[in-house]
A and B are shown apart, each in its own frame.
Chain A
Amino acid sequence: METIELKINGRKRTLHCLPNATLVEVLRDQLHLTGTHVGCDTTQCGACTIHVDGCAVKACTVLAVRSDGSDVMTIEGLAENEASHPMQEAFKACHGLQCGFCTPGMIMSAVDLVNKGCALEPSAIREALSGNICRCTGYQNIVAAVMQGASEMQEQSS
């Protein structure tokens, strides 16, 4: 067993895990933060996307022990004071989902691309979301949701 210290959704945690545990396994199985999903477990689908030190990464392909000392944010940490994040609201308003399995990863990627100043036009958003796969929709409403969420995020920060 290895001991690691992480800041998860703003709270410091000390965790014990085996060296071969992935970050998503620790989040889901130990901390019961089951909002982060495991879709493919092969770095393709992006359902497990979380933020590590402010960057969107696929938590199925990160060893938990290598995240020692990191600042981790999951979909559960996005809402502040029980109020949904603007990107969550936008996915709801635009119906940017059908089954919803890919949605937490989509939202974490969307927030990252807005935070990093990605161009907010449909083609650039599609390119920036290419690491997140949705098998229900045609991505139309997802792209619309990201555009709406982005403008609301920018409004809130201005």
Chain B
Amino acid sequence: MYQFKVHKADKLSTALDLFNASDEPAYIAGGHTLIPTMKQRLSAPSDVIDLATIPGLDAITLVGDTLQIGAMATHAKVAASSLVQEHCAALANLAGGIGDRQVRYRGTIGGSLANNDPAADYPAAALGLGAQIVTDRRTIPSDTFFKAMFETALEPDEIIQAIHFPQVDQAVYLKFPNPASRYAMVGVMLTRTAGETRIAITGAAASVFRAATFETALTADFSVSAIEAVTLSAETLNTDMHASAEYRAHLCKVLIQRGVEALTA
């Protein structure tokens, strides 16, 4: 790592001021993406602004029907939260399957969403569950939040404060992890609310996306037979050393089928 300055922010406004007064600033949440990229010198911030020192940013609360998770809540905290388990078990399970035990004690939901790694789990949760991303200045619907690989709608200095998950009737997350990295080769978040099906897929393309043709078919008829003839084009999917685009397209459909089976069992 190159040398840098560390600043401990005590509130959001201080963090913003520090960010805007620095040459090459970076916010740090759990640091489990930023530190490795800094070690590789892919990132070389002049100033690292610590968000962990801002009190209250990791709270998990239920307001009405909405599950509100603070951006600095770690994966371990979300997985172990009885509130999350009770109101959205699929989200707790997803958090408990991210990375490994040690990573889950440090990595945060806000950090994961702001990073938008193409194979991360939380983007599928936010998009599939129709979450709202609440920042220091506005609320961004998940449908417009994820822009491209490692790109989101966030302004450079914008800070995620919390993620609001509306109540859904049913949800399941199925992941086919890469056995070495444990990142999703394909991860599918399938949810149902008032008969409407939403499907968000991570790991398969440059950024998380909704499987519209499957959603339409399943909203009309929520059964495995309804999607028998539906396919996902491999054209925009990733090919890498782990899997071809065609294989990923196949995995997407298999996981969607399994999700439908799980929710109709």
Q: Residues of A at under 8 Å CB distance from B? A: 2, 18-20, 22, 41-43, 46, 49, 55-58, 61-63, 65-66, 109, 112-113, 128-132
Contact in complex: A62, B31 (CB < 8 Å):
yes
Q: Which residues of A contact B76 (CB under 8 A)?
A: 55
Contact in complex: B101, A66 (CB < 8 Å):
no
**Given A55-B76, A66-B52, CB of A18 within 8 Å of CB of B3:** yes
Besides A43-B103, A61-B35, 11 new A-B residue pairs in contact (Cβ under 8 A), listed by A number: A19-B5, A19-B48, A20-B2, A20-B4, A43-B35, A55-B76, A57-B102, A57-B105, A61-B32, A130-B100, A130-B101
Q: Which residues of A contact B50 (CB under 8 A)?
A: 66
Q: Which residues of B contact A46 (CB under 8 A)?
A: 100, 102
**Interface of B (DSSP majority class):** mixed
Q: Would you give 15 A-B contacts (Cβ < 8 Å), ordered by A?
A: A18-B3, A19-B3, A19-B4, A19-B48, A20-B2, A42-B39, A55-B105, A61-B31, A62-B31, A62-B35, A63-B31, A66-B28, A130-B101, A131-B103, A132-B100
Interface residues of B in 122-155 (CB under 8 A from A): none
Give the interface size bracket for B toward A: 20 to 34
**Given A43-B32, A55-B105, A66-B50, CB of A131 within 8 Å of CB of B99:** yes
Cβ of B87 within 8 Å of any chain A Cβ, yes or no, is: no
Contact in complex: B31, A66 (CB < 8 Å):
yes
CB closest residue in chain A, given B6? A19
| Top 6 closest pairs, chain A to chain B, by CB | A131-B100, A55-B105, A20-B1, A19-B6, A131-B102, A130-B100
Q: Which residues of A contact B100 (CB under 8 A)?
A: 46, 130-132
Q: Which residues of B contact A42 (CB under 8 A)?
A: 36, 39
**Interface 1/0 per residue, B3-47 and A, CB below 8 Å:** 111100000000000000000000010011001101100000000
Contact in complex: A109, B102 (CB < 8 Å):
yes
When chains A and B are docked, how far (Å) is the Cα of A130 from the Cα of B106?
Answer: 16
